């Protein structure tokens, strides 16, 4: 009979190197430039919009973005971080109740300050940067997808274009591939050991920086 005991230990926190941090910033800058180019052509602006996209229920899927988010959070003073954390806890409770009813939550992101602005704008995540304009994406299986944009964008497209597909669209494929490649370099040969992510920003705030528990055997 084996005397091996299996214990669980916390591995080292997943941290972006300076090079990977720079690269994710460049990817985000590319997204911003592509977004602005399409928004100008539509034309689409958020000015005067009665809606706020920051209450949309988004889930995020990369450890690299999670780590980059925490790079920004660590730059905040304790009081501000504590306020954001409390809002994140409330977000999780409220969204859990709504999801239990089979509905999609519509709750303000915990990063939004009392003045209605994002308190971590430079470190906001991929989905936050792309939501709004029409977009296209080619999946790894070759299937092409098109996203119509926010409700205001759809109204403008309906008014100015004969068909939805006549409107210009942001091509997401290359940017997504760059982010996926960055994720692979960050995780290396350990990537298969980490569970797939499907977390809200609130989850990432409350759970702390990305890390993982792995089995450790002792005899």
Q: Determine the structural domain holding residue 19 and report its residue range.
A: 15-44+51-208
Q: Is the pLDDT of residue 4 over 60?
A: no
pLDDT level of residue 19 (50, 70, 90 thresholds): very high
Residue 5 lies in a domain: no
Q: Residue with structure tokens 């997204």?
A: 31
Residues 37 and 22: their CA atoms lie apart, in Å, by: 23
Q: Is the pLDDT of residue 144 over 50?
A: yes
Residue 31 lies in a domain: yes
If you count them, how many residues does the chain have? 219
pLDDT of residue 217: 44
Residue 193 lies in a domain: yes
DSSP code string of 4-53: -EEEEEEPPPP---HHHHHHHHHHHHHHHHHHHHHHHHTT---TT-S--G
Q: Taking a C-beta distance cutoff of 8 angstroms, is the pair 107, 94 a contact?
A: yes
Residue 137 lies in a domain: yes
pLDDT of residue 191: 75
Residues 203 and 89: their CA atoms lie apart, in Å, by: 8
Q: What percent of the chain has pLDDT over 70?
A: 91
Q: What is the average pLDDT across 51-77?
A: 94
Q: Taking a C-beta distance cutoff of 8 angstroms, is the pair 65, 126 a contact?
A: yes
Residue 152 lies in a domain: yes
Residue 164 lies in a domain: yes
Q: Taking a C-beta distance cutoff of 8 angstroms, is the pair 130, 172 a contact?
A: yes
pLDDT level of residue 46 (50, 70, 90 thresholds): confident
Residue 1 lies in a domain: no
Q: Taking a C-beta distance cutoff of 8 angstroms, is the pair 30, 36 a contact?
A: no
Residue 6 lies in a domain: no
What is the number of structural domains in the chain?
Answer: 1
């Amino acid at each position: 009979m084996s005397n091996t005991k299996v214990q669980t230990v916390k591995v080292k926190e997943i941290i972006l190197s300076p090079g990977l941090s720079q690269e994710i910033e460049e990817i985000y800058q590319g997204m911003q430039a592509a977004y602005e180019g399409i928004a100008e052509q539509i034309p689409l602006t958020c000015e005067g919009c009665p809606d706020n996209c920051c209450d949309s229920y988004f889930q995020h899927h990369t450890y690299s973005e999670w780590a980059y988010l925490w790079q920004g959070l660590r730059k905040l003073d304790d009081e501000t971080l504590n306020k954001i954390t409390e809002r994140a806890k409330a977000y999780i409770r409220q969204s859990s109740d709504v999801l239990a009813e089979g509905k999609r939550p519509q709750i303000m992101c915990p990063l939004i300050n009392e003045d209605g602005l994002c308190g971590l704008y430079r470190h906001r995540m991929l989905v936050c940067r792309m939501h709004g304009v029409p977009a296209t994406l080619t999946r790894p299986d070759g299937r092409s997808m098109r996203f119509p944009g926010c409700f205001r964008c759809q109204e403008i497209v309906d008014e100015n274009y004969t068909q939805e597909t006549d409107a210009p669209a942001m091509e997401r494929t290359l940017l997504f591939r760059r982010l996926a490649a960055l994720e692979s370099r960050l995780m290396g040969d350990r990537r298969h050991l980490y569970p797939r992510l499907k977390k809200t920003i609130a989850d990432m705030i409350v759970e702390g920086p990305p890390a993982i528990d792995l089995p450790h055997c002792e005899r």
